[in-house]
Structure 1
Amino acid sequence: MKGRVENVVERGKVGDEYISGEDEVVVLDRSKDRDKTGHVMPNLIYVSREKSRTSPHNFKAGALNVLIRVSATMTNSPIILTLDCDMYSNDPITPQRVLCYFSEPEVQSQVGYIQFPQMFHGINKNDTYNCEFKRSFVINSRGLDGLKGPNHVGTGCFFNRRAFFGGPSTLLLPELSELSPYNVVNKPIQSPEVLALAHLVAGCNFENHSQWGFKMGVKYGTIVEDFFTGYRLQCEGWKSIFCNPERAAFYGDAPISLVDVLNQNKRWVLGFLEVSESWFVLYIFLFLGAYVKDFLDFMLGGAGTFQKWWNDQRMWLIRSLSCFLFGCVEYFMKSVGISMHGFNVTSKVVDEEQSKRYEQGTFEFGVHSSMFVPVIMAAITNFVALISGLIMILRGKNYFEGFFIQLLIAVFAIVNCLPVYEAMAFRRSDKGGIPIKTTLLSAFLSFTLFTIAYVTLRS
Structure 2
Amino acid sequence: MPSTIEYSASKVADCNYENNTSWGREVGLAYETVTEDTLTGLRTHKLGWKSTFLRLNPPAFMGYAAQDVCYMLLSAYCIITNTSFLPKVEEPIVYVPIFIFVMNKLEFLALYLLLGKSLRAWWNGHRAERITTTSSMLLAFLTMLLKNLGLSETVFDITQKTQFTFDDDHKVGRFVFDKSPIFVPGTSLLLVHLTALAMWVFGLQPAAATGGVGSGLGEILCSMWVVLNFWPFIKGLFGKGKYGIPWSTIWKSAVLVLLFVQLSKWTPMD
Band of TM-score, shorter chain? 0.5 to 0.7
One-letter amino acid of the counterpart of residue 329, structure 1: L
Report whether the alignment pairs 1:387 with 2:198: yes
Deviation, 1:357, is 5.9
1:292 paired with 2:106, answer yes
Which residue pairs with 2:250 in the alignment? 439
RCO greater where, 1 or 2, for CA within 8 Å and sep 6 or more? Answer: 2
Q: Structure 2: which 5+ runs fail to align? A: 1-81, 208-212
Distance 1:390 1:281, change over 3 A: farther
Q: Distance in 1 between matches of 2:147 and 2:85?
A: 37
Q: Which moved more, 1:448-457 or 1:369-378?
A: 448-457
Question: Secondary structure at 2:216's aligned position in 1?
Answer: helix
- The verdict on how the C-alpha distance between 1:324 and 1:369 changes in structure 2, with shifts beyond 3 A counting, is same
Q: Tell me the TM-score normalised to structure 2 length.
A: 0.58
Q: How far apart in 2 are the matches of 1:415 and 1:384?
A: 15
Equivalent in the alignment of 1:279: 93
Q: 1:414 aligns with which of 227, 240, 255?
A: 227
Is residue 132 of structure 2 the alignment partner of residue 311 of structure 1? Answer: no
2:146 maps to which of 316, 333, 344: 333
What percent identity do the matched residue pairs reach? 23
Q: Residues of 1 paired with 2:243 and 2:217: CA distance?
A: 35
Structure 2 SS opposite 1:296: helix
Separation (CA, whole Å) in 1 of partners of 2:268 and 2:215: 18
Cα distance between partner residues in 2 of 1:402 and 1:446: 19
Q: Deviations over 1:384-441 (max 9, x none)?
A: 2222223349xx9xxx9951100110110111122111111x233x432100111111
* Structure 1 counterpart of 2:260, one-letter code: L
Distance change >3 Å, CA 401–CA 446, structure 1 → 2: closer
Is the 8 Å Cα contact of residues 84 and 214 (structure 2) preserved in structure 1? no
Other-structure match for 2:218: 405
- Mapped to 2, the partners of 1:295 and 1:390 lie a distance apart of 32
Report the counterpart of residue 175 of structure 2 in structure 1. 363
Q: Is the 8 A contact 1:354 1:432 kept in 2?
A: no
Structure number with greater Rg is: 1
Query: Larger deviation: 327-336 or 449-458?
Result: 449-458
Inter-CA distance 272–351: structure 2 relative to 1 (3 Å threshold) = closer
**For residues 74-100 of structure 1, what are the alpha-carbon distances to aligned partners after superposition, in whole Å with 9 as ceiling and x for unaligned?**
xxxxxxxxxxxxxxxxxxxxxxxxxxx
Residue 264 of structure 2 is matched in structure 1 by 453
Deviation, structure 1 residue 284: 0.9
Q: Structure 1, residues 224-243: CA drift from partner, whole Å, max 9, x if none?
A: xxxxxxxxxxxxxxxxxxxx
Indicate how the Cα distance of structure 1 residues 273 and 350 shifts in structure 2: closer, same or farther if over 3 A, else same.
Answer: closer
Partners in 1 of 2:196 and 2:102 — Cα distance? 22
| Runs of 4+, deviation exceeding 4 Å | none
* 1:90-120, Cα deviation, whole Å (9 max, x unpaired): xxxxxxxxxxxxxxxxxxxxxxxxxxxxxxx
CA deviation after TM superposition for structure 1 residue 353, in Å: 6.7
The one-letter code sitting in structure 1 at the alignment partner of 2:185 is: P
Structure 1 residues 348 and 455, CA gap change in structure 2 (3 angstroms): closer
Separation in structure 2 between the aligned mates of residue 327 and residue 340 of structure 1, nearest angstrom: 12
The answer to whether structure 1 residue 374 and structure 2 residue 213 are counterparts is: no
Is the CA contact 2:184–2:252 (under 8 Å) kept in the aligned structure 1? yes
Aligned counterparts of 2:264 and 2:143: Cα–Cα separation in 1 = 27
Structure-2 separation of matches of 1:288 and 1:354: 40
- Unaligned segments of structure 1, at least 5 residues: 1-269
Contact 2:136 2:182 in 1 (8 A): yes
Q: State how many pairs are aligned.
A: 181
CA contact (8 A) 1:368 1:435 kept: yes
Cα separation, partners in 2 of 1:372 and 1:330, compared to 1, 3 Å: same
| Residues 353 and 402 of structure 1, relative CA distance in 2, 3 Å threshold | same
Could you report, residue by residue, the CA deviation over 1:351-376 in whole angstroms, capped at 9, with x for unpaired residues? 42785365x211111x1121111111
After the TM superposition, which of the residue ranges 316-325 and 334-343 deviates more from structure 2? 334-343
* Cα separation, 2, equivalents of 1:455 and 1:340: 34
Tell me how large the CA RMSD over aligned residues is. 3.3
Matched position secondary structure for 1:322: helix
Give per-residue Cα distances to partners, 1:50-95, cap 9 Å, x unaligned: xxxxxxxxxxxxxxxxxxxxxxxxxxxxxxxxxxxxxxxxxxxxxx
Partner of 2:160: 347
Does the C-alpha gap of structure 1 residues 348 and 401 become closer, same or farther in structure 2, counting only changes over 3 Å? closer
Q: Note the 1:189-208 alignment, pairs <5 A.
A: none
The letter for the 1-side match of 2:136 is C
Deviation at 1:297, TM superposition (A): 0.5
How big is the shift at 1:295? 0.6
Take 1:313 and 1:414, find their aligned partners in 2: how far apart are those partners? Answer: 13
The 2-side partners of 1:377 and 1:328 are apart by 17
Distance 1:415 1:354, change over 3 A: farther
